[in-house]
Structure 1
Amino acid sequence: MSSSRYDAAFYVQALDKFIKTGECATTGQEPLYAYLLSVMNDPMIKVRVLTDDICARIFYDTMSQFIRLNLEKEKYNLQKSQSEQNGMKLVLEWSIKKRKDGWQALMQQISDKYREYGFDHRFYKSQFGTEGKYADDEVWEKMVDDWEEAFRQKLQDEKEKEIEFRKDALERRLRSNLKDIPEYIRQKQIDKDEFFQSWGLMSGMWNTVDFERIRKIVRIQREHPEIVKVANKMGRIADDEGQDQIYVSEGDVYKLEHASKCDILGITVGNDLNALLPIELAHCADDELEDLFVYKYLTGKLQTFRYKSEIMQPARRLETKPARQKGPMIVCLDTSGSMAGTPEKIAHSLLIKILEMADRQRRDCFLIAFSVSIHPIDVRKERARLLEFFAKTACGDTDATRMLEATFRLLQSRKEYMNADVLWISDFKIPHASTALMDKIREYREADTHFYGLQIGIAENEWAPFFDRVYRADYTPSRRY
């Protein structure tokens, strides 16, 4: 069945392009894309998103969540109507006798459900009854095609209703967050990286109590720089230290006469948000002057700098790029009793850092929390489960068997996971697994899967030979975060 339905990647690409360049189409036919475009073309939202990277992140996360919710609902509706779609295929295979005996009941069934979606039941009743054309394969197939089209229109209508039902609450939350969160950050003088990490765990639902609670865990990284080192190591680029491939990049360039000279040629008017005069930025941030700023943006009358480098010349240059993109990450987090207290807080801080990196770089990230049993979580898609995980306390014994089996299943499940990075966060007070599982770690490392570890504490580590590198974070047992 033909469909104008887009997948999640399509919307992500549209959001990425808008945030990076400010470019987006003006209209779209598909309901969810059309609504996304209407939000992106809202002048005030556009101004905030393109002039503030914090607003850009808030916008991206909020709209991504809305898109995901609508796509899940659409998928549910499609699955719910799967039997009807299968029924359309079966109707095409009806014998002439079955068509003769069953066309009237079929027309009544379709008419009751799709009359308002353009299905012309009167025409087919005339064709099949008066004309007897139920035996004509061409007419019969055209009837099923029209049935499919009405079915598709009904799904589109349901999709539009879902969007209409949710959009007012979304827009209120989005506008409130774009205004209130940057102001809170300025007042509290919060570091941007701390904000991005803390915000990433909040699923787009802002409140200062939860934010400060999460931020307190993030700030542990200041006392344990190993956390940031480990996070930066994860998901490496192929041949990080050297050149991979050299490409010729074509484009435009303007070479200034001397690097120390100012590029500003003068002042002009327009709506280039990247070249605003400070006075216009002040108007944008002022609640009372916000409407004036939007008016000047829409009419192209904002005061902007004019640069010499606007005069471009064709150029070609050599550019070094990595051969492979950053890969997915598998984080195995020890939740046994020996991790309770400070080690658990350090582990959570690293997990938050990795989650923020996965969100920012659009990378898959899988958490396998283990003691004896395991609890796998897709951290970018199952944020609610992740929040529940953070609320639990470490307890129980430790056994790496199920965790390793789950890790290997994941590595085998998709081709791109063969180049994944696996990180263990543990005190490494873990008995060795079976010889077969230990040998499998070696096999995966030889196949270019990297294994890293953050050891919390100074216990003897018998696992170190099986890892590319194990970082160590020492701590004072009495220290409370």
Structure 2
Amino acid sequence: MTNQEYIDNRLATYNEAFDFYMDCGEMPKSIEKGDILGAYLKSVIDSNPQLDSQDPLWMEVLKDDLLAFLSAMLSAFVPVEEAHKKEQAYIGRYKNADLDKQRELWPSVYEYVSKNYEPTDVNIAGYVEQFKENNVQDVIDALCEDWMKASDSRKDAREKKILEKNAQSWERHIKEWGLSDYKRRKKIDNTYYRYPALQEIVKIIGREQPQRKDEKDDITYKYIPILLSTPAKTVEIEQISIGDDVAHMMPIETAILSDQETETLFYKKFAGKQLQIFANRPPLKSQDKQIQQHQTKPRLEMGPIIVSIDTSGSMSGKPEEVAHSLLIQLLRLAKKKKRKCFVITFSVRSRALELTNPANWRKLNKFLEEGFSGGTDGEEMLNSALDALQKKDFCMADVLIISDFEFPLPKSTTKARMRAEHDKGTRFYGLQIGSWPNRYQSILDKMWKMKI
């Protein structure tokens, strides 16, 4: 596992621990005893008892800032953790070596322990004296055990010192800038609630209302027998046929036979088996008929979210604010329901940011600020979204495009890729901000239009 993967995993654990503690009033089992940052997270929440009674946005602001601080601390802890692992490995190698190797390494071990540990932590001189009276291997095992405990304690002490050194400045930052952060996010929320279309988008992508028929229905083919086999034994006369069975002749044939002028005609019809006779219906055979039926095609209850935001120059200003407010709500939804989230910005080129890990949440504002200039390349944006769908974590996602759609329809190859992903369960939506004529509603599952 790389250092970044370790940081991402720990940050995800602290993110869940924050929510768990707010809901249950205790830390989850994933936060082990002695976890320095887990204990600090708990102390921060305990220091803000008013969170439960305030606007939930305050808790969101505190949580995001706290996770950003913990991310920085985890990065600062990396050198300490690496040094600790290296030392633990060194202790293990010395303890498990044969006696000749232990004697060879002893001078360097003695020098290292004497230099880095106080006698109250590892009394190396005392162990030297014990060599005179006790079994050498027993003394070395006891030394290594004390040394490992002292190594753990030294790591914890170093990390606590780093945390204490930075915690005060972070807490001052929260007091000074927390209100500004809250007001900025409140403004974003107000923009969102001003437009009903944005709320409808979140409901549909959040799967909080029944899916529309045209989003779910799939045509299936069902084969059913249209005729059932009849019993072999039957005496019921059901139809008129032709043949030479005089026992079942129709009265008209009897009349022909009784008239001398038509008698010859009768025999001719009899010889040719052309007499009209009563007959039973032939046994019915099972046949298959193919019929079309509409059957609901189930979708994932919760799936990933891919948001593509047009950051060309034509989207700057009010459209940018609307796009940002909708994105924040979708990210909030993804956090709440633990759904994967992927953001793509596009203008002359596309850029992507995966928000699966909490470590990337704080990068979002800077990521968006680098856009809103130049023209638009919708083709590259669509292919970036389609490429993201190939990842295991983002297959069968909901894809939302936020743009003024001042770009042509995709190429036929791109349309074919979209259809293939749609067949797998992906749904494509669009929010057009502006009044530019576009035909994307013909290839998207649903298009919302807003005039700002």
Please say whether Structure 1 and Structure 2 have the same fold, judged by a TM-score greater than 0.5.
Answer: yes
Query: Is 2:417 the counterpart of 1:446?
Result: no
Per-residue CA deviation, residues 406-461 of structure 1 (Å, 9 max, x unaligned), is 43454444x44224322211222334556554433323322223322212223343
Following TM superposition, by how much is the alpha carbon of 1:105 offset from its aligned partner in structure 2, in angstroms?
Answer: 0.9
* Cross-structure match for 2:164: 164
Equivalent of 1:234 in 183, 205, 217: 205
Report the TM-score when normalising by structure 2.
0.63
Q: Judge conservation of contact 1:355–1:365 (CA < 8 Å) in 2.
A: yes
Query: Is 2:443 the counterpart of 1:472?
Result: no
Q: Judge conservation of contact 2:434–2:451 (CA < 8 Å) in 1.
A: yes
* Cross-structure match for 2:152: 152
RMSD: 4.2
Q: Judge conservation of contact 2:344–2:352 (CA < 8 Å) in 1.
A: yes
Query: Is 2:24 the counterpart of 1:33?
Result: no
* Cross-structure match for 1:338: 314
Distance 1:474 1:347 in 2: 13
* Cross-structure match for 1:74: 77
Q: Which amino acid aligns with 2:36?
A: P
Equivalent of 2:375 in 392, 397, 409: 397
Following TM superposition, by how much is the alpha carbon of 1:217 offset from its aligned partner in structure 2, in angstroms?
Answer: 5.2
Following TM superposition, by how much is the alpha carbon of 1:83 offset from its aligned partner in structure 2, in angstroms?
Answer: 5.0
* Cross-structure match for 2:400: 423
Label 1:69 to 1:19 Cα distance change in 2 as closer, same or farther (>3 A): same
Label 1:402 to 1:142 Cα distance change in 2 as closer, same or farther (>3 A): farther
Per-residue CA deviation, residues 94-152 of structure 1 (Å, 9 max, x unaligned), is 5665443223113322442344783443455557798784xx5x876776555444333
Distance 1:126 1:207 in 2: 63
* Cross-structure match for 1:299: none
Q: Judge conservation of contact 2:193–2:199 (CA < 8 Å) in 1.
A: no
Label 1:53 to 1:111 Cα distance change in 2 as closer, same or farther (>3 A): farther
Following TM superposition, by how much is the alpha carbon of 1:333 offset from its aligned partner in structure 2, in angstroms?
Answer: 1.1
Q: Secondary structure at the match of 2:374?
A: coil
Q: Judge conservation of contact 1:333–1:347 (CA < 8 Å) in 2.
A: yes
Label 1:34 to 1:107 Cα distance change in 2 as closer, same or farther (>3 A): same
Distance 1:77 1:467 in 2: 51
Count, aligned residues: 355
Equivalent of 1:369 in 345, 352, 360: 345
Q: Which amino acid aligns with 2:80?
A: N
Per-residue CA deviation, residues 214-244 of structure 1 (Å, 9 max, x unaligned), is 65555444553222222332243697689xx
Consecutive unaligned residues of structure 2, counting only runs of 5 or more, are 1-6, 214-297
Q: Judge conservation of contact 2:306–2:344 (CA < 8 Å) in 1.
A: yes
Per-residue CA deviation, residues 4-31 of structure 1 (Å, 9 max, x unaligned), is x993344334322332244569x95332
Q: Judge conservation of contact 2:203–2:209 (CA < 8 Å) in 1.
A: no
Distance 2:55 2:188 in 1: 23
Per-residue CA deviation, residues 368-403 of structure 1 (Å, 9 max, x unaligned), is 112232332345533553222444452223334544
* Cross-structure match for 1:350: 326
* Cross-structure match for 1:225: 196
* Cross-structure match for 2:365: 387
Report the TM-score when normalising by structure 1.
0.60
Per-residue CA deviation, residues 39-67 of structure 1 (Å, 9 max, x unaligned), is 4445xx32x12333435445444443443
* Cross-structure match for 1:64: 67
Q: Secondary structure at the match of 1:382?
A: helix
Distance 2:443 2:435 in 1: 18
Equivalent of 1:407 in 381, 385, 394: 385
Following TM superposition, by how much is the alpha carbon of 1:473 offset from its aligned partner in structure 2, in angstroms?
Answer: 1.6
